[in-house]
Amino acid sequence: MKNVLLIASEAVPFIKTGGLADVAGSLPKYFDKTKFDVRVMIPKYTCIPWEYREKMVYKTHFYIDLAWRTQYVGVFELEWNGVTFYFIDNEFYFGGNKPYSWIHEDIEKFAFFSKAALSALPVLGFRPDIIHCNDWQTGLIPVYLKERFSQGEFYQGIKSIMTIHNLKFQGIWDLKKVKDITGLPDEYFTSDKLEAYDDANYLKGGIVYADRVTTVSETYAEEIKTPFYGENLDGLMRARSNVLSGIVNGIDYDEYNPETDKRIYNNYNQVTFRKEKWKNKVALQKELGLTEDKGKFMIGLVSRLTDQKGLDLVAYVMDQLCAEDVQFVVLGTGEERYENMFRHYDWKYNDRVSANIYYSEDMSHKVYAACDAFLMPSLFEPCGLSQLMSLRYGTVPIVRETGGLKDTVEPYNEYEGKGTGFSFANYNAHEMLGIVNYAKDVYYNHKREWNKIVDRGMKTDFSWNSSARKYEELYNSL
């Protein structure tokens, strides 16, 4: 039996700001319980809903030193979906109405969390063989494991894995202050360790000291060795390439299931979608005030409205994208200029463009179920979950070939009758427009081929099951 502790700054269903929470909360329940005991540890934020907080069971408390202060550490436990979750309690750090605040506060908060997490292990009586760290917030854990905790007999031989969910966020702050907060000796702050460009960098520390480094798709693992995607750490990624690998995320196939989904208008599956899926489209057209027409080609976009998501390409050819034979449904919030651009086109083409500048889980499911195609032209995309949801709902993804999008969407090939979506290679608005028009042509003029693309997409398996098997192999290789 291998013991694994997955440590992260968020996990569903307790607290979520992004895809990291899905991994930390969903992945553990898919491991083979006879071979792996996988538990999860996150902070006990006061903004976790009361329905979960009231069920947490107090385990123990103790004190640790952080910089020049002595800090209280409480440990709570809750079993959820057959997985044991531990919560590190300290209201000074984890109070407030959201999990993250200003970076200088977060730097101290997650130094505390890293030290507290490691200190809690002997008291909990759970000794992990592997500690699986996620993103910069846990970057200090592999460092501390090699530094002060390596003295203790309990910690001998514990291995660490560092998973990068998005290399853009690294936890960077002033070198002297970080030295003060972490209590790490000077020799840890050199350019081959925690120092980067005259600052301290938590993620870099984790990458340097972890036994294995993973990221959330195979293509992204290759891309981050290059300057364009490497966010100033490409040299380090190349240096660590012998321990670097990519494992694509999954989605929860119970929650995202068009056959049983309570959030959508009309249920369907891989066999019945030809007869049933369109009813979702007409119902959404009605709800959003678009022209009701089950034959109209409908494109969806559910996303944070930021540059990373390729929205400057969309802005550039928006008039052409909103051709008369297309409907375009947008859901999400983000940069003001994109919010306003979509509002403008909603005003200009009211019967065929619907801009929903808010976020709602219910509405996102409706969009995945109703649309014919889903647009995701990202500049970079470590893994991406929207395209996996689209495939699951029989909505054909149109993506740029980067990161996880390249690994999960097989481009349509009309000559071999293969493929689960459409893709373009260069970050170029007209190349994107060309592929959207190609998809539209297949939809209108080769309907049988289109339905076969949908069929193949709905047959793919991107559930957590397949990801969990790959993580099990990784754990065993340590």
pLDDT given at position 133: 98
Residues 122 and 155 in one domain: yes
Q: List the single range of 12-21, 280-289, 329-338 with lowest mean pLDDT.
A: 12-21
Residues 412 and 470 in one domain: no
Average pLDDT of span 5-9: 98
- Identify the DSSP state of 280: H
Closest C-alpha to 399, from 336, 314, 467, 285: 314
**What's the pLDDT tens digit per position in 293-344?**
999 999 999 999 999 999 999 999 999 999 999 999 999 999 999 999 999 9
Residues 274 and 321 in one domain: yes
pLDDT given at position 66: 86
Average pLDDT of span 371-380: 98
Residue 260 falls within a domain, yes or no? no
pLDDT given at position 150: 87
Q: Is 306 exposed, middle or buried (0-12, 13-18, 19+ CB in 10 A)?
A: middle
Q: Say how many Å lie between the first and final Cα of the chain, rounded.
A: 13
Distance CA(425)–CA(332), nearest Å, equals 25
Residues 275 and 242 in one domain: no
Q: Any residues with CB less than 8 A from the CB of 269 and at least 6 apart, and which?
A: 258, 259, 458
Residue 263 falls within a domain, yes or no? no
Residues 154 and 233 in one domain: yes
Residues 223 and 318 in one domain: no
Could you tell me the pLDDT band of residue 19, with boundaries at 50, 70 and 90?
confident
Distance CA(450)–CA(217), nearest Å, equals 27
- What dihedral angle (degrees, nearest 10) is formed by the CA atoms of 227, 230, 231, 235? -80
Mean pLDDT of the chain: 96
Closest C-alpha to 374, from 408, 340, 336: 408
Residues 320 and 394 in one domain: yes
Q: Which domain holds residue 380?
A: 270-460
Residue 258 falls within a domain, yes or no? no
Contact 188, 248 (CB under 8 A): no
Distance CA(96)–CA(403), nearest Å, equals 35
Contact 140, 202 (CB under 8 A): yes
Residues 86 and 135 in one domain: yes
Residue 53 falls within a domain, yes or no? yes
Distance CA(216)–CA(404), nearest Å, equals 7
pLDDT given at position 18: 81
Q: What percent of the chain has pLDDT over 90?
A: 96
pLDDT given at position 403: 97
pLDDT given at position 151: 87
Closest C-alpha to 299, from 397, 369, 356, 374: 374
Residue 168 falls within a domain, yes or no? yes
Can you give the pTM of this predicted structure?
A: 0.93
Q: List the single range of 36-40, 210-214, 251-255, 459-463 with lowest mean pLDDT.
A: 251-255
Annotated binding-site members for ADP-alpha-D-glucose: 16
Residue 255 falls within a domain, yes or no? no
Residue 386 falls within a domain, yes or no? yes
pLDDT given at position 276: 97
Residues 217 and 354 in one domain: no
Distance CA(345)–CA(354), nearest Å, equals 8
pLDDT given at position 68: 79
Q: Any residues with CB less than 8 A from the CB of 394 and at least 6 apart, and which?
A: 258, 268, 270, 273, 277, 454, 455, 457, 458
How many domains does the structure of the chain reveal?
2
The structure tokens listed for 206 are: 């984790």
Distance CA(347)–CA(88), nearest Å, equals 48
**What's the pLDDT tens digit per position in 413-439?**
999 999 999 999 999 999 999 999 999
Distance CA(127)–CA(125), nearest Å, equals 6
CATH number of the domain where residue 425 is located: 3.40.50.2000
Reply yes or no on whether the pLDDT at 400 is more than 90: yes
pLDDT given at position 449: 98
Annotated binding-site members: 16
Give me the half-sphere count of Cα atoms (radius 13 Å) on the Cβ side of residue 415: 0
Residues 137 and 4 in one domain: yes
- What dihedral angle (degrees, nearest 10) is formed by the CA atoms of 231, 236, 242, 243? -70
Buried b (16+ CB within 10 A) or exposed e, 207-237: bbbbbbbbbbbbbbbbbbbeeebbbebbebb
Sign of the alpha-carbon torsion through 401, 407, 411, 415: positive
Average pLDDT of span 75-94: 97
Residues 178 and 276 in one domain: no
Residue 262 falls within a domain, yes or no? no
The structure tokens listed for 147 are: 């530094």
Reply yes or no on whether the pLDDT at 406 is more than 90: yes
pLDDT given at position 67: 75
Residues 453 and 469 in one domain: no
Could you tell me the pLDDT band of residue 412, with boundaries at 50, 70 and 90?
very high
pLDDT given at position 64: 95
Distance CA(453)–CA(410), nearest Å, equals 10
Q: Write the Ramachandran bin of 428: left for phi over 0, alpha for psi from -120 to 50, otherwise beta.
A: beta
Helix (H, G, I), strand (E, B) or coil at 70: strand
Average pLDDT of span 154-177: 96
